[in-house]
Chains A and B, each alone.
Chain A
Amino acid sequence: MRKVSISLLVMLLFAIGLSACGAAAPGASTNTIKIGINAPLTGDIPKVGEGTKYAAEMWLEDIDAAGGLEVGGEKYDVELVIEDNEAKAESATAVTTKLISQDEILVMVGPQSSKQAVPAGEVANNQKTPMVSPWSTNPNTTLDRPFVFRTPFLDPFQGPVLANFATEEFGFTKAAVLYDVASDYPKGLAEFFKSGWEELHGEGSVVAYESFTTNDTDFSAQLTKIKDSGAEFLFAPQYYNEVALIVQQARELGWEGPILGSDSWGSAELMSLCGDACKGLFFSTHYAAAGATGATKEFIDRYNEKYGYVPDDVGALTWDTMLLIQKAIQDCGTITGDIAQDRQCVRDAMAQIKDFEGITGSMTFTEEGDPVKCAVIVKISDAGEFEFYKQVCPE
């Protein structure tokens, strides 16, 4: 028994000693601005989380190199609190709550996919903490939530943009759509495209409106129908892995017309999966990597050099999100240390931002916290690069 008590005592003393070290270590100082990153680093879409994380870390490097973030004449250290939300809705909510109540972040970046951003936005808005999603396109993410913002354009904008493009560029009148009915993003975009197209060409101008379910790999039935429908081109708002299959199978079945895509095509993986079949096709996106100039090129080159691949749109959007947050914090003017007040201040500054020049275009926020910005139409060149073709802006 004595031995036991002695060993317990020793352990206790040891712990006290160590905790003294801990106390001496730099804790949370008032001169630190904390920014939370809520990203899917594991789970279904790890590449998206990685893009966000890398872009945010690159931004932090810049800040650190400048000796901190200057707000109202004073330099503040910036700390990124990066948390993994496993691409699950409940984890995204838990992470959001933790970042806000435990880590006391000033602003949160993320979550990315809408199934996480919608519930996380609810928490952030209730806790009066600004949140900026760099990827979510579901209208519900920001709807009636003054504290929630996003940097990508919305599907109700992108759908008509593509409809206009196909009309003006090729003079087509009959469209076919192939989309994943079980997935939030393609389904929404397909609907917006359809309504936009029918507005231009009248009822029934979408001659084939075919769907499939996530993880399907054989589209021959739908593609045969589309081929027989007399459509002049095909719109496929799918993710890059499905795009490769759709394009290849369409060509095998003898489909000659162009295939149009959306921003979900914009991944470096697309060309390695799709190969020659995808060359010469068009899609709309946030920025064009090949032939980029100025700040965009600088970002792409830096990212490519550091991490070994050309960043996807989520990387570029996160980069813009970080700069946007930086601007909002600086516009706010003072960091009082009272976290509730500072969050309100940053939120107000964010809503005021006008004509912010990002690498994915110029942005002005609407009342809902959605950006008004231009879309870029990209052509896949014969070298397999995503080349800038045209810019389409909202009227």
Chain B
Amino acid sequence: MTAINSKLSTGKKDVSLFLQKLWEPFSVSPMLGWLIGVLIAVLLEYTVGLYVARMLGLPKIPVLFGVLIMLETPILFPSAVLYVLIIFIIPIALIARFTAPLTNTLAGKLIDVQPWLAVLVHLGLFYAALHLWAEINDYRVLVVRLTLISIILTLSLNVVNGYMGEFSCSHPGFMALGAYGASVFTLFLFVDDRTFGEALLPAQLGFLMFPLGLVFGGAIAALGALIIAIPSFRTRGDYLAIISLAFMFIVKSLIENLEFVGGPRGLGGQPDWANLPTVFAWTVICIWVTNNFVKSTFGKALNAVRDDEVAADAMTVNTRQTKMVAFLFAAFWAGVAGGLFAHVLRYVNPGSFGLQKLAEILAMLYFGGLNSVVGSIVGAVSFNLVSEALRPLEILKWIIIPVIFILVMIFRPTGLIAFTELNVINIIRPKNKAAVPQNVEVSQ
């Protein structure tokens, strides 16, 4: 028994040693290098991708790195792997490795000039790569947009369920309020439609005003949150969960009975304004604001409330106000996500915001990890990708996904990446040996 155990553990060690060795040459590459690599790889796909795919016997460019092919036509899977290797992994690795000296200097200089400038440059590179990558296929664009919206949702729920430590179930309700709020705003003002009659303002103005519509949707969601927060914050734990669950059903019934927004028939015909750049921009703003929010004094107060409300109160934290603000903040972002969701699908109906949606959001949150901005992003992205990839399995998919969740809960009870802070400068700083000690000193 012990022999097997030791063998197993050496096997494990071998793998991690191997991975470590594999990673070693790349540890000097900064994020800038990786992003340039990704951008070039995407350009490569854009120009010669189809040609390479055809040479490998693939009918088309593998749409999500071959994860769809894996289950649909397994015989083509090796070709897809090879394709990903040729177009993505090898070029990215080579560029990241061999431009490291250059990109390290560049990254260092950028941060020295202005940290926010450096962040913007990185974001710009990332977006350029994402846009080019998605451009190839409409399916990619849609998956990316839905995934980004999931990120906003998961992140906003993390503020309540993670940082505040309550279990709220009303997120689909807030999302519905935001979706209907933003839809009514755009349909009423800018679109000639059957429900609200003629547009009041020219449609050209509409796209510029779209952010206002999303904020309006978010505000309505926050108003809903205020209504539920006043009575329910007298309770904690399970009771809050039940009240918030009830709120979700109330919102759903309310919309079903409101004739002017279409009732159960739903509301359609939203203009196609939630394109990729818009959704991306909102996601970035959401990540930035939420990250600052949870790292601020306020965020720490929130954590104090989570850990021990009485103690936090004794330490002069205004617990009621803290909880209220955090709850409204989360509801606002859920509302924005709902508004984007409505304009991506260009149709909403109350049936979309039920228990199934709640289960999905909760799954993404707990899969990624509580109390962590990175965790929420990882959770939302991986859940969406796995969900798309396993679609061909039909009913088996709903056995495999729960099994994955149970495994995650057993081996990492707090989720994949929990209780970590997102430090943007740390991610984009130069990784060469000369720079490391310097930066450590600076941060200390």
- Checking B22, B77, B137 against A101 with a beta-carbon cut-off of 8 angstroms, the contacting residue is B137
Asked whether A4 lies within 8 Å of B265 as measured between CB atoms, the reply is no
Asked whether A101 lies within 8 Å of B85 as measured between CB atoms, the reply is no
* B75 interface residue per 8 A CB criterion: yes
A89 CA to B352 CA in the complex, in Å?
Answer: 7
A98 CA to B143 CA in the complex, in Å?
Answer: 10
Contacts of B143 on A, CB cut-off 8 Å?
94
What per-residue 1/0 map shows which CB atoms of A88-115 lie under 8 Å from chain B? 1110011101101110000000000011
Q: Which residue of B lies closest to A29 (CB)?
A: B59
Asked whether B268 lies within 8 Å of A119 as measured between CB atoms, the reply is yes
Name the distance in Å between A49's Cβ and chain B's nearest Cβ: 9
* A10 interface residue per 8 A CB criterion: no
A194 CA to B47 CA in the complex, in Å?
Answer: 61
Asked whether B352 lies within 8 Å of A23 as measured between CB atoms, the reply is no
* B211 interface residue per 8 A CB criterion: no
* B56 interface residue per 8 A CB criterion: yes
* B63 interface residue per 8 A CB criterion: yes
**Chain B binder among A39-47, A57-65, A268-276:** A39-47
Asked whether B60 lies within 8 Å of A23 as measured between CB atoms, the reply is no
Name the distance in Å between A25's Cβ and chain B's nearest Cβ: 5
Contacts of B391 on A, CB cut-off 8 Å?
83-84, 95
Asked whether A97 lies within 8 Å of B345 as measured between CB atoms, the reply is no
Q: Which secondary structure characterizes the binding site on chain B?
A: helix
A315 CA to B83 CA in the complex, in Å?
Answer: 41
* B349 interface residue per 8 A CB criterion: yes
* A66 interface residue per 8 A CB criterion: no
Name the distance in Å between B143's Cβ and chain A's nearest Cβ: 6
Asked whether B253 lies within 8 Å of A213 as measured between CB atoms, the reply is yes
What per-residue 1/0 map shows which CB atoms of B311-345 lie under 8 Å from chain A? 00000000000000000000000000000010011
**Chain A binder among B196-204, B256-264, B285-293, B299-307:** B256-264
A187 CA to B63 CA in the complex, in Å?
Answer: 41
Q: Which residue of B lies closest to A118 (CB)?
A: B347
Name the distance in Å between A101's Cβ and chain B's nearest Cβ: 4
Name the distance in Å between B381's Cβ and chain A's nearest Cβ: 15
* B122 interface residue per 8 A CB criterion: no
Asked whether B21 lies within 8 Å of A1 as measured between CB atoms, the reply is yes
Asked whether A119 lies within 8 Å of B347 as measured between CB atoms, the reply is yes
Name the distance in Å between B55's Cβ and chain A's nearest Cβ: 8
**Chain B binder among A13-21, A168-176, A282-290, A326-334:** A13-21
**Given A94-B388, A187-B264, A182 contacting B82 (CB threshold 8 A):** no
Asked whether B398 lies within 8 Å of A182 as measured between CB atoms, the reply is no
* A28 interface residue per 8 A CB criterion: yes
What per-residue 1/0 map shows which CB atoms of B50-76 lie under 8 Å from chain A? 000000111110010000100000011
Contacts of B257 on A, CB cut-off 8 Å?
181
* B131 interface residue per 8 A CB criterion: no
A23 CA to B73 CA in the complex, in Å?
Answer: 12
Name the distance in Å between B70's Cβ and chain A's nearest Cβ: 12
* A294 interface residue per 8 A CB criterion: no
**Given A89-B345, A94-B388, A115-B349, A127 contacting B138 (CB threshold 8 A):** yes
8 A-B residue pairings within 8 Å (CB atoms): A19-B78, A19-B82, A20-B57, A22-B58, A115-B349, A122-B346, A138-B265, A181-B264
Q: What residues make up the interface of B, taking CB atoms closer than 8 Å to A?
A: 18, 21-22, 56-60, 63, 68, 75-79, 81-82, 85, 137-139, 142-143, 146, 252-253, 256-257, 263-266, 268, 341, 344-347, 349-352, 356, 388, 391-392, 394-395, 397-398
Smallest CB-CB A-B distances: 5 pairs: A23-B57, A18-B78, A19-B79, A28-B59, A119-B347
Q: What residues make up the interface of A, taking CB atoms closer than 8 Å to B?
A: 1, 4, 12, 14-25, 27-28, 41-44, 46, 83-84, 88-90, 93-95, 97-98, 100-102, 114-115, 118-119, 122, 127, 138, 140, 181-184, 187-188, 213
Since A4-B21, A15-B81, A115-B351 are in contact, a sample of 12 more A-B pairs with Cβ atoms closer than 8 Å, ordered by chain A residue number, is A4-B18, A17-B78, A19-B78, A19-B82, A20-B57, A89-B347, A89-B349, A118-B347, A119-B346, A184-B349, A184-B351, A188-B265
